[in-house]
Amino acid sequence: MNEQTATSISHARRSSAATARTLLILGASGDLTGRLLLPGFAGLLGSGKVRPVRLAGAGSSGYGEEKWQERVRSVFADAEQKATTEGREVLEQVRASTSFHEVDVTAPGQLRSLIDSLEGPVAVYFALPPAVSEKACRLLVETGVPEGTRLVLEKPFGSSAQSARDLNAILAQLVPERDVFRVDHFLGKGTVFNILGLRFANRLLEPVWSNLHIEKVEIFFDEDLALENRAGYYDNAGALRDMIQSHLLQVMALLALNAPASLGERNLRDHIGSLLRAARVKPGYAETTRRARYTAGEINGKAIPSYTDEPGVDPAKNTETLAELEIEINNMRWAGVPFILRSGKALGRRRKEAMITFKPVPHLPTGFHGVDEPTRLRIGFSPETLQLEIDVNGPGDIFTLDRAVLATEMNTSNLLPYGEVLDGVLAGDPLLSVRGDIAEDCWRIVEPVLHAWEAGEVPLEEYPAGSLGPSSWPTSCDGGQLGAP
């Protein structure tokens, strides 16, 4: 891409909105803030890409100024190691001016008063339990918020299509849609632009990118981590809500959408929305969906207890730790192509990729042999890689076709995922945020499956931790090495 095109794309993506002057983190003492949000923010500041903003932390308990200052100091000190000279100055300025505020966001008027006391525009980050965030937003409707305020909401965004609609209706009374940021840290800019660049900048791909040539599309997010003490959240969510409803549907949309005319947030999110409106889980859930839960096993030499023996898990909830859905996209381009989305925990290998399998050639000249695997394109997430698996006449017998793998690495962002999220929030660019109608549609797609599972229509299977999943599932296979040339 030439410099002029790159500059105009970057301008198209940037909004005309004023840069936020204060980042207010509600939930200053929380896990998300300490583990992901502050390190992401510190990395962004340390990159020297953004100007100093004020950082304010808030909470309702006795966390207090001293602990907050210490938390910020320690995270920023780590970030300084990798910061640019300019970034180090920004980190120091932000650290020196940070403040803590005691507030109960569920008490009428308190949050509005706090926002008023800060330099605006304020980006309000709700790093709070979902029910507390919702109550806080409801209360804000009574007082309103100053113009230019941005609201940043964490996942899960609602728990059903109806609750997502209700929450959207509350937010719409507070700020315009472009000032609402529904966070999806999975889809960093790198992943989004790697997929779009690959698909739309290569003449080779677009003509074959349809049901005429593609057999199936699979999206995997298999983790080798087990519960990691997160039962409180995970046991209420499960693999389907945690990963597929939120993140993997977004990846599917990027792989399947029609080419947008530009990379502006409106254009791109319109295309994502339009694609998802054509999608549904293929009916006949007993055949098209699968769920399972891990039993005791071993991963990398470490003993993993059965999911039901993990502290904080209620076995009666029947929460799945591995889920798989077959989605159909009912439009001209994709009718008849299965999109398989799978995600799970405590598996024997990390497999985080989209794998596009092409149809066989209509006729192979008689005489060639050795072709037993289809052409495959594999897009790896974390690390971001690209791999094309094709058949060529390798050394030896000229009639024998051999497997060749063309592999490369793609753009990897220097920022942590939450750094990218906050970059967009501060700049007022909602490109990476999930638009309200899209959040509702993601629930619309998975909700019938959740009901079917609750009604026991699909058995909850088991797999030992450290295995590749239930052996009867076709996706529980090795899958080969991703990214190896």
Report residue 389 as tokens. 């698996």
Pairwise CA distance, residues 390 & 377, whole Å: 9
Dist. CA 339–CA 94, nearest whole Å:
45
Binding of ligand NDP by 132 (CB under 6 A): yes
Token pair for residue 406?
């063309």
116 among the known binding-site residues? no
CB 202 within 8 A of CB 325: no
184 contacts ligand NDP (rule: CB under 6 A) = no
- Radius of gyration of the CA atoms of the chain, in A: 24
Single out the segment in contact with ligand NDP by CB under 6 A; choices: 23-31, 83-91, 351-359, 474-482: 23-31
- Among 9, 17, 32, 390, the residue binding ligand NDP under the rule CB under 6 A is 32
Out of 44, 50, 55, 127, which residue is the one contacting ligand NDP (CB under 6 A)? 127
Q: Which residues have a catalytic role annotated?
A: 247
Which residue stretch of 121-129, 211-219, 260-268, 415-423 sits at the interface with ligand NDP (rule: CB under 6 A)?
121-129
**Does position 155 bind ligand NDP by CB under 6 A?**
yes
Structure tokens at 281: 């889980």
Token digits of residue 277: 């409106």
Q: Residues 127, 32: contact at Cβ < 8 Å?
A: yes
Give, in order, the Cα–Cα distances in Å from 262 to each of 182, 196, 207, 399, 436. 22, 11, 20, 46, 21
Three-state secondary-structure class, residue 181 = strand
**Subset of 201-240 contacting ligand NDP (CB under 6 A):** 233
Report the residue from 15, 60, 93, 267 that binds ligand NDP according to the rule CB under 6 A. 60
> Does 63 contact ligand NDP by CB under 6 A?
yes
Q: Number of residues interacting with ligand NDP: please give it, by CB under 6 A.
A: 24
The one segment of 100-108, 272-280, 363-371, 417-425 that binds ligand NDP by CB under 6 A:
100-108
**Measured from the CB atom, is 110 or 375 closer to ligand NDP?**
110
For residue 401, the one-letter residue type is L
Which residues touch 319 (CB under 8 Å, ≥6 apart)?
A: 234, 235, 236, 237, 238, 293, 307, 313
11 is in an annotated binding site: no
Q: Cβ of residue 158: shortest distance to ligand NDP, in angstroms?
A: 11
Q: Is 345 annotated as a binding residue?
A: yes
With tokens 């209706």, the residue in question is 169
Q: Give residue 433's Cα distance to chain centre.
A: 10
Q: Is 26 in the site for ligand NDP (CB under 6 A)?
A: yes
Which window, 125-133, 189-197, 337-345, 398-406, contacts ligand NDP (CB under 6 A)?
125-133
What number of residues does the chain have? 485
Residue 216, marked binder:
no
Type of residue at 410: M
**Residue 105 in contact with ligand NDP, rule: CB under 6 A:** yes
| Binding-site residue set for substrate | 185, 189, 223, 242, 345
